[in-house]
Amino acid sequence: MDKTLKHLNNFEEHALAFLLPFMCILICISTFARYTNLFIITWAEELTRYCMIWLTYFGIGAAAKRGEHFCVMAFVGLLPPALQKILTVVRMILMITFTIVVTWYGYAILRNQVNMGQITPSLRWPMWLVYSVIPIGCIIMTIRYSIHGTMQLLGIKSRQGE
């Protein structure tokens, strides 16, 4: 059970560890095959583009897990501890609000894609499949920022990355 929870906890890292090498290998094979006139993988560029989009949205969750998004720590470090906690709360509220708004709009885009029935050009996949990562990634980021911020406020060392 602990191993399962650990894998779920590191879901973003596992997705990133799969997607990046997969993209590189696919493009290398596609380029080599086209250059040597062996065969052409017509859908390779499209799939790697979608993998890059998914990489980006899973990456924001992984960064949020550790609190590695943009923050000016030199300024915050100069402030008294009470003010640092207030800034942490403000930062948490801003980030969670932002991710909720993006999730809402991402869901609206996703719903429109489902209604339109658009498909991808080469792969012939439903376009909503590609757009589904927007709300998924932002929900993950919201959860990760909530946990990280709460633990930071309570003075607990974050163990999310383990």
Cβ 44 vs Cβ 32: under 8 Å: no
> Cα–Cα distance between 91 and 68 in angstroms, integer?
13
Structural domain contains residue 95: yes
Q: Does pLDDT of 162 surpass 50?
A: no
Cβ 135 vs Cβ 103: under 8 Å: yes
Structural domain contains residue 48: yes
pLDDT, tens digit (0-9, with 9 covering 90-100), for 17-46: 999 999 999 999 999 999 999 999 999 999
Output the pLDDT for position 33: 95
Structural domain contains residue 8: yes
Give the residue, 34 or 152, on which the prediction is more confident: 34
Structural domain contains residue 160: no
Give the chain's count of helices (H) and strands (E).
7, 0
Match 């095959």 to its residue by tokens. Answer: 33
Output the pLDDT for position 2: 64
Output the pLDDT for position 4: 65
Q: Does pLDDT of 101 surpass 80?
A: yes
Least confident of 28-32, 58-62, 85-89, 98-102: 85-89
Structure tokens at 76: 């915050």
Structural domain contains residue 101: yes
Q: Which domain holds residue 123?
A: 2-154
pLDDT, tens digit (0-9, with 9 covering 90-100), for 118-127: 999 999 999 9
End-to-end CA distance of the chain: 15
Structural domain contains residue 159: no
Q: What is the pTM of this model?
A: 0.80
Domain count for the chain, please give it: 1
SS3 category, 126: strand
Structural domain contains residue 76: yes
Structural domain contains residue 161: no
Output the pLDDT for position 156: 76
